[in-house]
Amino acid sequence: MQLTILGCGGSMGVPMLACDCAVCTSTDPRNQRTRTAALIQSPTTTILIDPGPDLRIQGLRQGLAQLDAVLVTHPHQDHIGGIDDLRPFTLNTPRSLPLYANQFTLDRIRYQYDYAFASGESASTRPSLSLNQLDGTAFSIGDVALIPLPIEHGSWQILGFRIGDLAYMTDVSHIPEPTFDLLHGVNRLVIGALRHEPHPLHFTVAQALAAVERIQPQQAFFVHTSHSLDYTTENANLPSHVQLAYDGLVLPIHV
Ligand SMILES: [Zn+2]
Ligand SMILES: [Zn+2]
Ligand SMILES: [Zn+2]
């Protein structure tokens, strides 16, 4: 089983529109980050984490031909802006695509994508979704067992996910104490680290490093990184087991 980092950029992506900073104009492909999203693949199951606004290009890049389910961490637009681009996965089939999120996120999705749930719309004009509410207990999709990880993103209670020995927590500003108990034995940690300057909704690099220090994974990878973080410069300053992720990075998952 593996997890592919489809995108690891902050909410505006890198390069950012209308910016000519050194990172946005860098030729290093690892400084070109689509919005943060990931793909879990087992031998029989493919699961997307966060259908963001770059879903179409990420899917094309990845040769994504089939999806069994979609997990949504939270309803910020950089994580749900690609929901309409889920249409091809149910086109010409009677099935709907199972989408899993907490109640708060499902309510926002129903509101923002009301046409997807209206009667009379055809399968070509709306994504066909079946919504599944996560209440914090472990669940399975096909042969993939998942544990929701409650985390705080500013004032929002949102979700990360643990799959085997890998934990994925993108937009996070605080990890509640009970969630640390769910992170014992994690070997690979994917965690948000927006920038060095404080932000009310996101860990800084230093805060993400403190979480890594507490969780003690073998390896940690920073995602949701802004254009203020240059891939090579930052990695030179990080401990060797902690690195900025890049689009296309593949991490093994052991169960
Ligand atoms: Zn985000
Ligand atoms: Zn820039
Ligand atoms: Zn967010």
Q: Quote the mean pLDDT of the chain.
A: 97
Q: Are strands 37-41 and 2-7 parallel, antiparallel or unpaired?
A: antiparallel
Distance 92 CA to ligand 3 centre (A): 33
The ligand minimizing its distance to the Cα of 78 is 1
Domains of the chain (ranges, CATH numbers): 2-252 (3.60.15.10)
Residue 119 has a pLDDT of 82
Neighbouring residues of the ion ligand 2, judged by CB less than 5 Å: 16, 19, 21, 24, 227
- Is the link from the previous residue into 15 a cis peptide, with omega within 30 of 0? yes
Residue type, 91: L
Please say whether the beta carbons of 128 and 94 come within 8 A.
no
- Given a cut of 80, whether residue 97 has pLDDT beyond it is yes
Mean pLDDT of 6-35: 98
Mean pLDDT of 88-114: 95
**pTM strictly above 0.85:** yes
pLDDT digits (tens, 9 = 90+) for 190-215: 999 999 999 999 999 999 999 999 99
Residue 233 has a pLDDT of 98
The ligand minimizing its distance to the Cα of 156 is 3
pLDDT digits (tens, 9 = 90+) for 210-235: 999 999 999 999 999 999 999 999 99
Q: pLDDT exceeding 70 applies to what percent of the chain?
A: 100
- Given a cut of 80, whether residue 120 has pLDDT beyond it is no
pLDDT digits (tens, 9 = 90+) for 47-93: 999 999 999 999 999 999 999 999 999 999 999 999 999 999 999 88
